[in-house]
A and B are shown apart, each in its own frame.
Chain A
C-alpha cells in the first residue's frame, strides 16, 4: 500500500504528467498525420514501356492517370514514357488527361528511346519533359491510311454519298491538316516561350535527338528517371518522399474489380476451355484484361487496328511502314 502510494506520488508529479501528455500528443499527432492528414508524401511513377498508343493501352494509361489524380498522398507524378505515338483519339485523350492532372499535381515525363508524335503530344500535358541524349523526340504531325472509296453496291444502300467514306479525298486532306494544326497548337501553347524553333520547322515533323530537343526547347533537360523524380519532388515541394509503383497499384485495383465480377462465375468458367486447353481461371482472365497494349513488340508497327471499320485511320505515329 505504501509502495503504491509512493508510485502515485511520483506519477502525479507535474513533470511526469507533462511528459506523458506531450508523448500522447505526439502519438496522436503521428496517427493523425499519417492516417488522417497528408502523411508521408509519395511520388507516383507510371511506367510505359515501348507502347503503341491505341485504345487498349490508352485505357490502361488513363486508369493510371486517374489513380494518381485521386490519390491524395501522391503529390507528384513521373511518367516514364517510351512510345512512338499511335492513334489520334487515344493520343489526344492522354494529352487532355495529363493536362488536367497537371492542374492538381506536377507531372514530369522521363522519356526513354521514343518520345515521338502521339507520345510527344501526351508529354505536352506535363509540366516538364526529361529526355535521354539519344531519345528520339518530335515528329509533330499526322498521317492517314486510306483505301479507294467503295463502289456503289446494289446490296448495301446508304443514305448519302459520304456515308461509306466520310467525305472525299480532299475532305480527308482537310481533316489531316486540321489535326496537324491542332497538334501544332498544343505544342505552341504548352511549350510557349521555351521553344527555340519556328512553327514552320515544327510542322516539318522531324525527329530530333534528346540533346537537340533540349536545345530547341522541345524538352526541358537531359536526364533519367532519377532526375525526373527529383524534379517532380521539387515542383511539388516535397522531400523524404516515397515512390509508388502506379502500374502495380492500378493492376491490383483492377484485379480486385475483376475478381468481384468474376469470382461468382468461376465455377462456370472452369468448364470453358482456354487457349492452352485448360479451363479458364481468374488468373488467365485477369492477364487478358489487364495491361493490354503495354510493352508490345516493336514489330507491331503500325498498330494492327481493324481495317474494315473506321476507315480512314489517322495516326500520330512515328513509324516507317512495313517494307
Chain B
C-alpha cells in the first residue's frame, strides 16, 4: 500500500496535461481578447431642424389702372394657381389680368407661330406689364423684337425661370443681356428645411427690395449680367458653376424695365408667406403696376386710359362721331360726344382739313401743315385729295389726343373704318403720324 500511495502524485499529471493543452491551445489560437472600442451613441433626440417662420405682412395698395398680360402661348410650364399670390396682388392694385393665348385644363397650349406673333403684337399694344414665365417653346426672333419694342416704350417685363422645370426663358432673356444659367443654387450650412431652399439677405437698395430683411427661394438659379438686386452669401454654391462668388437669382435689365427671377416656387403657397417673401411678391406687383409706358399711334385705342371725349369739327360729321364711339366701345373704352374740349380728358378730334384750325396747336407741335397739300416732317408734300391724316398727341399728365382728319366726309368715315380694322398701321409715317390715300 505505501508503494501505491507514493505514486498517487502521478494522477496530478492528468489535469496538468489537460491544462497544458488548453493553455497551449489558447496561446496558439488567442493572443488576447477583443477590446471593443467605446461606443459613441448618436444623440438622435437632440436633432432639431430649424425652419423659416411666417412673417406677417399686410398691405393697402393704391389702385391704378392698367393691364397685366401673362404669356400662356408658349406651352408655359406653370399652373395658374401657383401664381395666385402674385396675381391677387396685381389685381388688388386695380390692374386687369389677361392671358396671351389659351389655357388648356391645367396647362398652357401653343398656337402656331404666325398666329402667336399676331396675338403678341395685338396684346402688347394694350399691356402695361407683361410676364413670360417658363416658356417651354422658344420665342421666335420676331416675337422677341416685339417684346423689345414694348420694353423700349416703358412696358414692364417680368421673366421667370426655374431650375427644376424645363423652359426656354433665355430665348427672351438674352435679348435683354441676361442669361439664366444652368444648375441650381444650394446652401448646406443654412437653409429652410432643405439645402435647395436658400435664404437671401444681401439686397441692392431698390423699389423691389424695399422693406426686405430676408427672403427664401426654393430651388433658385443664377442669372448672369444685369443689375443684381439680390445676391447669395458665401455659403451658397451652384450645382454647375465652379465659383464661390455671389450669385444673383434676381436681376434687373433693360434700363430697369425688365425683372428676371430664377425661381417660381417662392411664390407658391405656403412658401409665399415665409420670411419676407410676401413683401417681395408685393414689391414685384408694384413693379408690374407702377410703370409709365408710352404709347404710339400703332397702339390705338389702348393709349386711352379712361373715358374719351369725341369732338367734331362740324356737325355734319356726326355719323363719323357715332362710328368712332361704337368703335371705342368695342375696345371697352367709353366715350361721349362733346362740344367743348376738356384739357384734362383723353380726346378724339374728328374733322375735315378745313377744320384743321381747331387743332392747329397740336398740328404745329407735330410740324404738320394741312392745305392743298399735306406736309409732315416725314413725308414730301402730298396732294390732299382723297387723303386722310391721323395724329396722336401725348400731352402732360398722360393725356392722349387723337386727331383724325380727312379731305371729305367719306374719307373721314373710311379712316374711322381703317382705325377699327387695324389697316391704319400700314400708313404710318412715324410713331405718331399716319397719312393715308383713301381711294374708294
Contact = CB atoms under 8 A, between A and B. Distances in A.
Interface string A163-199: 0000010100110111001100110011010000000
A189 B25 contact: no
B33 A22 contact: no
Nearest to B28: A240
Nearest to A25: B17
A37 B14 contact: no
A239 B14 contact: no
Interface in B219-275: 235, 270
A203 B195 contact: yes
Given A17-B10, A185-B44, A185-B47, A106 B21 contact: no
B47 A181 contact: yes
A177 B16 contact: no
Interface string A16-40: 0110011111111110110001101
A44 to B, nearest CB: 13
B7 A17 contact: yes
A100 to B, nearest CB: 9
Interface stretch (B34-42, B121-129, B321-329, B396-404): B34-42
Interface in A269-301: none
A240 B29 contact: yes
Nearest to B30: A238
B11 A237 contact: no
User: What is the size category of the interface that chain A forms with chain B?
Assistant: 35 or more
B14 A24 contact: yes
B47 A38 contact: no
Given A25-B17, A177-B49, A238 B31 contact: yes
B19 A25 contact: yes
Nearest to A201: B188
A76 B34 contact: yes
B265 to A, nearest CB: 11
Interface in A102-122: 102-106
B193 A177 contact: yes
Interface string A75-115: 11000000000000000000000010011111000000000
A41 B29 contact: yes
B29 A241 contact: yes
Contacts, number: 129
Interface in A234-267: 235-241
Interface string B389-417: 00000000000000000000000000000
A176 B14 contact: no
A173 B193 contact: yes
Contacts of A178: 47, 49
Contacts of B13: 18, 21-22, 25
A9 interface: no
Given A185-B42, A239-B31, A200 B189 contact: yes
A190 B40 contact: yes
B32 interface: yes
Contacts of A186: 42
Candidate in B18, B43, B195 with the most chain A CB atoms within 10 angstroms: B18
Contacts of B14: 21-22, 24-25, 28
Contacts of A177: 49, 193-194
A76 B30 CA distance: 12
A18 B43 CA distance: 62
A237 B31 CA distance: 5
A41 B30 contact: yes
A189 B42 contact: yes
B22 interface: yes
A239 B25 CA distance: 11
B21 A29 contact: yes
Contacts of A33: 21-22, 25-26
Nearest to B237: A204
Given A21-B11, A237-B33, A239-B31, A29 B49 contact: no
B15 interface: yes
Contacts of A235: 34
A25 B20 CA distance: 8
Interface of B: 7, 10-22, 25-26, 28-34, 36-37, 39-44, 47, 49, 51, 188-189, 193-195, 197, 235, 270
Task: Report the 8 A-B pairs with minimum CB-CB distance, sorted nearest first.
Answer: A25-B17, A29-B21, A29-B18, A21-B13, A173-B193, A22-B17, A237-B32, A25-B18
14 contacts: A17-B10, A22-B14, A23-B17, A25-B14, A27-B17, A29-B21, A32-B22, A102-B39, A173-B197, A185-B47, A186-B42, A237-B33, A238-B30, A239-B31
